[in-house]
Structure 1
Amino acid sequence: MKISGSTALVTGANRGFGRHLAAELTARGATVYAGARNPDSVDLPGVTPVRLDLTDPASVAAAAELAGGVNLLVNNAGIDTRTDLLDGDMDQIRLELETHYLGTLSVIRSFAPVIAGNGGGTILNVLSVLSWVNFPLHAAYGAAKSAEWAMTNALRLQLAERGVRVAGLHVGYLDTDMAATITSPKSDPAEIARIAVDGIESDAYEIVADDVSRRVQAGFPGGVAALYPQLS
């Protein structure tokens, strides 16, 4: 789809990767609604702040009504509670699923008719390499992202016939506040935002944005032995 002249809504756009995505879209000529639980925290020039809490259905419905011209939805908002699946707090695990899976699905259910009614467009779900491979430190996050990836695949087929393309972005650690304590290599979020928007503009269904994600994807044919060599 053509970015210039489009109307986009980016969730979690007040900081981190979402802010970079909103800035990239704005720079390319899109009209951008910046979704955040606290719209007063949005400080990016040229965007329209919108109150949007993924876990609040009334908030999602109100945002869809306000941003009625949208033909591009970017589902970026998320959390990482660093919760272990065996010993971690079940409420935190539920929160991950409520946010990444059910919350994202709620936003899509509200905005897909809007996008279709505007002549079609694109939904981009910001996933993670952890939707493909998981580690105990991010176990709840990875499980929720895996569920979001499965949902992304399912909705691709259902929404394609309505003129709505559903894409997924896979990337490793980004140099944002969410990964501030991580010592592993991190990608520049501004560069990944550029890659993501390039992928939207080229109508890609899956955008694999960094070397880590490409290596994991390449390991799929090798199964568990390739993805988790420590188990071999």
Structure 2
Amino acid sequence: MATYSTSKSAAWSLSNGLRNELAAQGTQVVSVHVGYMEPDMASHVPGDKTSPDDVARQTLAAVEAGEPEVLADATARQVKQGFVGNPPAYAAAR
């Protein structure tokens, strides 16, 4: 799980960096974050999964609205909120 989470974190950071670098030329960068979607990769994970169609709808709406990111499900919103918690969610419990 740590390497999977690391790759998602890197993608989030890359999106933020590209958004800042490309803003001056008018390039819109919209990052899309989702906890688990319905495809086979997450079939072993219990709980609700977001449909790819729903993620696509949210993404198109964000592009049209000029939004910087899509937090497509409750898991993505919880992760984002955890970045600003005190202590942050990624800190090991002591």
TM-score bracket, normalised by the shorter chain, equals: 0.7 to 0.9
TM-aligned CA deviation for residue 175 of structure 1: 0.8
Aligned residue-pair number:
94
Task: Select the structure of larger CA radius of gyration.
Answer: 1
- What is the distance in 2 between the residues matched to 1:222 and 1:157? 24
Asked if the contact 2:34–2:76 (Cα under 8 Å) also holds between the matched residues in 1, the reply is yes
Aligned to 2:7: 144
Q: TM-score normalised to the size of structure 1?
A: 0.37
Q: TM-score normalised to the size of structure 2?
A: 0.82
Aligned to 2:33: 170
Cα-Cα RMSD: 2.0
- What is the distance in 2 between the residues matched to 1:174 and 1:198? 19
Task: Please say if 1:206 is aligned against 2:69.
Answer: yes
Aligned to 2:51: 188
Gaps of 5+ in 1: 1-137
Asked if the contact 2:83–2:90 (Cα under 8 Å) also holds between the matched residues in 1, the reply is no
Change (3 A) 1:229 1:150: closer
TM-aligned CA deviation for residue 231 of structure 1: 1.2
Gaps of 5+ in 2: none
The percentage of counterpart residues that share the same residue type is: 36
TM-aligned CA deviation for residue 188 of structure 1: 1.8
> How do residues 18-37 of structure 1 correspond to structure 2 at under 5 angstroms?
none
- What is the distance in 2 between the residues matched to 1:213 and 1:154? 19
TM-aligned CA deviation for residue 216 of structure 1: 2.4
- What is the distance in 1 between the residues matched to 2:80 and 2:23? 24
Question: What letter is aligned with 1:211?
Answer: A
- What is the distance in 1 between the residues matched to 2:91 and 2:17? 30
